[in-house]
A and B are shown apart, each in its own frame.
Chain A
Amino acid sequence: MKKARYVLRLASRNMWRNRLRSLLTIAGIAVAIISFGLLRTVVDSWYAGAELAASGRLITRNAASLAFPLPLSYGERIRRVQGVDQVTWANWFGGIYIDEKHFFPQFAVDADSYFKVYPEYVLDDQQLLAFKKDRRGVVVGSKTATKYGWKLGDQVPLRGTIYPGVWSFTIRGIYHGRDDKVDTSQFLMHWDYVNENVKAILPSLADKVGIFVVNIKNPSNAALESQAIDSVFRNSLAETRTETQKSFQLGFISMVDTILLAIQTVAYVVILIIMAVMANTMAMAARERTREYATLRALGFNQAFVYSLIVGESVSMAVVGGGLGVLLTFPLAKGFFSVTRDMFVVFDVTPTTITLQIMASLLIGLMAALAPTINSTKIKIVDGLRAVT
């Protein structure tokens, strides 16, 4: 116990012998741990939407591709499938506000059923009524409304891409999330209004729906319900593919899987790089202390004591840097989220990420001590005592 205390005392004091070097190394570790944490949180956040999806919610789309719509009439047939509770539908609108940089998701939705299927979108009754009464009205998520300073009654022009022309909408409602994990960036317009215009300009797309959103009574029957819905439309002109909301969203994420893999790889490469930097620092430190280590061994301390000094110093430095990194990850994640709100619904540093950061810090400390520890075993006491440091 007294030896352990001495090891800690010596290791922590040794750590500050070359202050500039130690501070730079600690800063490097902190930056690496922050980067690791933020990059992992970016990846987590991509998956967060899927993880937060309601378990009893299914998405039905065209089996051929999401690019091909389904007939509106399918909605009634889906509703008749046993176990289905509620059905609504939505079309991706894809308009441009000002320019492409000002992106927010826009959907043409069924005003009567959409907010029943999505109870997590909290909308004032008066505003819902106003939305239903105005065919050119829209409901906007609070995040997007705040971003552009929109308020009720404001006019928002969008330039159509899928649906040509300039569309003008009036904000009739601003929805909030039931909790901070709900996406509040959407811009929801009347499907009826869009469909009415489409009939005139693109008749082939009229009365068509991008996806049906289906709430089922028993979430544990999701697989069976999906099969039941799809079987209704088997051998039809537009066969369907039904899956849980989570699977549907994961399908989107799989499109950027390679990017996410690259981000994850970078996160681990950062740790490897700092491990090498730290190993170099420890190698220099251990080389400088060769004579001291030899003196300790001459005095009767065994090799394990010397190992513990090297490992103790290395781990102490990694823990200080890592701890700093973990602490700074939170405010930096907050700052990062504030400038990337359009990209992520949530940007929470998860307990898993924090655990991994702590483990990475310890690993950096242990691995960095490996080479100098091995080297120290090769040095004989008499040679160590002669070392010029």
Chain B
Amino acid sequence: MSGLISIQHLVKTYQRGSQDIPVLRDINIEIESGDYVSLMGPSGSGKSTLLNLIAGLDKPTSGRLLIGGVDIGSLSEFDLANWRATNVGFIFQFYNLMPVLNAFENVELPLLLTNLSKAQRREHVEVALAMVGLADRMDHYPNELSGGQQQRVAIARALITDPTLIVADEPTGDLDRQSADDVLRLMERLNRELGKTIVMVTHDPKSAAQARRMIHLEKGVLVTDGEAGH
């Protein structure tokens, strides 16, 4: 494994009026390629903020955030969008699928930013949906799928561009235990079989235990960083 994410003296503060609210204080983390990391901590600990920074959705106030050798904090909005499209797959707590698109179209969405032909896109989408076990649900709209199935469509969408990094924000937070277990098993497969680097925010110790490494934050400070429990 080689270093994929290098977080150096990362600080993030939000401004509320004239007041600076520190959310992350001097965070230093190295994440290897192919690692599976869970970020844990109580509400307000800064774990979602850290995930957003790693995903290139937000910019640090200070410090460096190198991903694959690219200092994403220095990229323009335009370059950052392109970088996300190529390098990051997203899994959200509430799936964030487009309700007016069917499963196939939702998974195909990120491929619109590539130069693939229609036939190539179809092939990719069919493979991705087959991988998450939803090959027979391509024409179904999100409201015709269960929560677990919707999350699997979202995982297929996260995979479709073959990103190096997958970020997941409470991916099982809206699911029943059975569906949550299915999703976690799927994520573990992505990590183990496809070598995807996964960074996941979770409140759920069982979900966190699926990861190889667990990072615990409290009040914006890294408290513990070690192997997860499995």
Mark A residues whose CB is within 8 Å of B.
Answer: 2-3, 6, 9-10, 13-14, 17, 291-292, 295-303, 380-382, 385
Contacts and interface: CB of A to CB of B under 8 A. Distances in A.
Given A6-B112, A292-B98, A300 B84 contact: yes
Contacts of A302: 78, 81
A300 B100 contact: no
A10 to B, nearest CB: 6
A14 B118 CA distance: 23
Interface string B53-94: 001011000000000000000000110011011100010101
Contact of A382 (B58, B98, B100): B58
Contact of B85 (A2, A292, A299): A299
A232 to B, nearest CB: 78
Nearest to A295: B96
A5 to B, nearest CB: 9
Majority secondary structure, A binding face? helix
A299 B101 contact: no
B101 A10 contact: yes
Interface residues of B, number: 26
B98 A10 contact: yes
A301 B157 CA distance: 14
Contacts of B112: 2-3, 6, 301
A181 B110 CA distance: 60
A381 B58 contact: yes
B44 interface: no
Nearest to A3: B112
B110 A299 contact: yes
14 contacts: A13-B101, A291-B94, A291-B96, A292-B98, A296-B109, A299-B110, A299-B157, A300-B82, A301-B112, A303-B77, A380-B58, A381-B57, A382-B52, A382-B58
B113 interface: yes
Nearest to A16: B100
Nearest to B90: A298
A6 B77 CA distance: 23
Nearest to A380: B58
A49 to B, nearest CB: 52
B133 interface: no
A301 B58 contact: no
A2 B122 CA distance: 13
A387 to B, nearest CB: 11
A379 to B, nearest CB: 12
B55 A300 contact: no
Which one of B52, B92, B94, B100 has the greatest number of beta carbons of chain A within 10 Å? B100
B57 A292 contact: no
A10 B55 contact: no
B203 to A, nearest CB: 16
B205 interface: no
Which one of B81, B90, B92, B105 has the greatest number of beta carbons of chain A within 10 Å? B81
A299 B9 CA distance: 27
Contacts of B3: none
